[in-house]
Each structure stands twice: as structure tokens, then as C-alpha cells.
């Protein structure tokens, strides 16, 4: 079970949170991109054996959306920040 250090509530277990998917870069203007870049932004998340950035919602706590930096092999969490 992950222990997520919410900036507002302190260390809370994963069961208080809802997962919100990979943290994407802000939505670009599709008209300013090539088709390949647009498809990439929409569909291709980084999938490393290593660090990913992802969104977690403290639904059963303070209600804030957090961004985590988490390791996909060890589950270690290196950073928790409010917002993006």
C-alpha cells in the first residue's frame, strides 16, 4: 500500500486516494502541432521501468489533486506536490 504524504493532511494510505492517470503536459493547441505530435500527446504516456509522474486525488481526505513522482518498480515516492 502506498503511503502518500499529502501536503495538507500528512501521510495517508493509498486507499484514501483515487488514481487520476499519468500527469500530462498541459493540453497543446492541436492546430500548432504535427499530426504525429498530437497523437503522441493524446495516446502515448511514458512507460519506463523507473520514475513516472501521475495524478492522485485525495478524495477521502482534503479533496486536493496532487502530482506524484513514483517509481514503477519499487513504488518509492520521491515527490508529492499540489496541482500539476
List of residues contacting other proteins (CB under 8 A):
1-2, 13-15, 19, 22, 35, 39-40, 42-45, 47, 49, 52, 54, 70, 72-73, 75
Beta carbon of residue 84, minimum distance to other proteins (angstroms, whole number): 17
Helix (H, G, I), strand (E, B) or coil at 31: helix
Beta carbon of residue 84, minimum distance to Zn ion (angstroms, whole number): 16
Taking alpha carbons only, the member of 82, 24, 26, 28 closest to residue 52 is 24
Closer Cβ to Zn ion, 30 or 63, answer by number: 63
Contact 24, 54 (CB under 8 A): no
Closer Cβ to other proteins, 31 or 73, answer by number: 73
> Which residue is associated with the grid cell 503511503?
3
Q: How far apart are CA 20 and CA 59, in angstroms?
A: 11
Closer Cβ to Zn ion, 58 or 70, answer by number: 58
Amino acid at each position: 500500500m502506498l503511503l502518500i504524504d499529502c501536503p495538507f493532511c500528512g501521510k495517508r494510505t493509498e486507499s484514501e486516494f483515487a488514481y487520476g492517470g499519468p500527469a500530462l503536459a498541459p493540453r497543446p493547441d492541436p492546430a500548432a502541432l504535427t499530426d504525429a505530435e498530437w497523437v503522441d500527446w493524446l495516446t502515448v504516456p511514458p512507460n519506463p521501468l523507473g520514475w513516472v509522474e501521475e495524478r492522485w486525488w485525495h478524495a477521502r481526505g482534503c479533496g486536493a489533486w496532487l502530482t506524484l513522482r513514483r517509481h514503477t518498480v519499487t513504488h518509492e515516492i520521491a515527490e508529492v506536490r499540489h496541482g500539476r
